């Protein structure tokens, strides 16, 4: 009887290991987040549209944005990124505006060993050609955003987290001389699960905190972002994600984003 139990235990352990190895073979790449900072390196194009609202008895704000982001791998461990977009903002207590957003360019590095991975990079946002000067963020300054993150790959289950720091820079890449600055830190994480049919379910979270004395009202935010990525063909994904504000005086209370991600070999 003991010999039979021993054989059953061995078969059970082998079954678990076989199942885990088959799950690990499902996907080798971290999903591209809908809202947060991506960690891995990709050959990809991401087209998206988003709507975010802030509703208060005495204040209302709305942000609508269409974005095009692209990324190209340089070997197995590096990539370059670029992006552009169009913004429409409406506020009851500050200046509303609409027009082309800041251009974006950056570089990323990514390395994976076993189930653990590390990623880092930096993004630069150019001057805003459409945003008016309202006494808050200066549209003539550059924005620098270094980031660092890690990932865990358990087959169908994956987790990735990041932290970034954004600050202003003038045309000579120096910190502008002014009384108040536009600076903030942001951290976030993405938990994802890939089903047998390739559907990816995501739960993202983002937290942003102003650093020192910021010029922007309602700079701090804490959001949850439930989302889904639906496969379209071999290399495409339709994405849908929500925004749920989790604190009072959040930057935005609610919103959603839809888009299409296309990955190249």
pLDDT at 178 over 70: no
Given a contact cutoff of 8 angstroms between Cβ atoms, the answer to whether 37 and 149 are in contact is yes
Judged against a pLDDT cut of 70, whether residue 119 lies above it is answered with yes
* Model confidence, pTM: 0.84
Among the listed ranges 86-100, 128-142, 143-157, 199-213, which one has the minimum average pLDDT value? 128-142
> Distances in Å between the alpha carbon of 212 and those of 120, 162, 179, 180, 184?
24, 21, 11, 9, 8
Integer-rounded Cα Rg, in Å, for the chain is: 21
Q: Can you point out the beta strands (E) in 92-197?
A: 97-100, 104-113, 116-125, 142-154, 157-169, 184-194
Residues 106 and 130 sit within 8 Å (Cβ to Cβ): no
Predicted local confidence at residue 69, as pLDDT: 98
pLDDT band at 30 (very low <50, low <70, confident <90, very high): very high
β-pairing, 142-154 vs 116-125, is: antiparallel
**pLDDT range class, residue 216, cuts 50, 70, 90:** low
- Of all residues in the chain, the percent with pLDDT exceeding 70 is 84
Backbone torsions φ then ψ of 40, nearest 5 degrees? -75, 180
pLDDT tens digits, 73-92: 999 999 999 999 999 988 88
Q: Are strands 44-55 and 60-74 parallel, antiparallel or unpaired?
A: antiparallel
CATH of 27-263, one of 1.10.3720.10, 2.40.160.40, 2.30.30.830, 2.40.50.140: 2.40.160.40
pLDDT score at 194: 97
Mean pLDDT over all residues of the chain?
Answer: 86
59 neighbors 96 (Cβ within 8 angstroms):
no
**Residue 254: both structure tokens together:** 């609610």
What residues does each domain of the chain span?
27-263
Q: Is the pLDDT of residue 193 over 60?
A: yes
**What is the DSSP secondary-structure string of 33-49?**
-SSS---S---EEEEEE
Q: Is the pLDDT of residue 172 over 80?
A: no
Question: What is the rounded average pLDDT of the residues 182-197?
Answer: 94
């Amino acid at each position: 009887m003991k010999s039979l139990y021993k054989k059953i235990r061995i078969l059970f352990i082998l079954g678990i290991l076989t199942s885990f190895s088959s799950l690990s073979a499902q996907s080798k790449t971290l999903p591209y987040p809908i809202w947060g900072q991506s960690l891995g390196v990709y050959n990809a194009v991401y087209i998206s549209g988003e709507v975010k609202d802030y509703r208060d008895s005495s204040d209302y704000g709305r942000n609508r944005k269409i974005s095009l982001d692209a990324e190209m791998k340089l070997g197995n461990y590096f990539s370059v990124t670029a992006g552009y977009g169009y913004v429409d903002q409406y506020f009851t207590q500050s200046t509303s505006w609409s027009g082309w957003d800041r251009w974006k360019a950056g570089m990323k590095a990514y390395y994976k060993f076993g189930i653990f991975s590390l990623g880092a990079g930096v993004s630069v946002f150019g001057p805003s050609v459409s945003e008016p000067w309202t006494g808050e963020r200066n549209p003539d300054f550059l924005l620098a955003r270094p980031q660092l993150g890690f990932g865990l790959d358990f087959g169908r289950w994956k987790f990735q987290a990041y932290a970034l720091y954004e600050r202003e820079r003038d045309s000579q890449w120096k910190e502008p001389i002014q009384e108040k600055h536009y600076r903030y830190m942001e951290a976030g994480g993405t938990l994802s699960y890939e089903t047998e049919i390739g559907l990816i379910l995501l739960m993202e979270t983002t937290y942003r905190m102003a650093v020192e004395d910021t010029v922007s009202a309602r700079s701090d935010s804490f959001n949850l972002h439930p989302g889904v990525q639906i496969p379209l063909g071999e290399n495409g994904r339709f994405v849908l994600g929500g925004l749920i504000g989790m604190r009072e005086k959040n930057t935005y209370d609610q919103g959603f984003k839809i888009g299409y991600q296309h990955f190249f070999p």
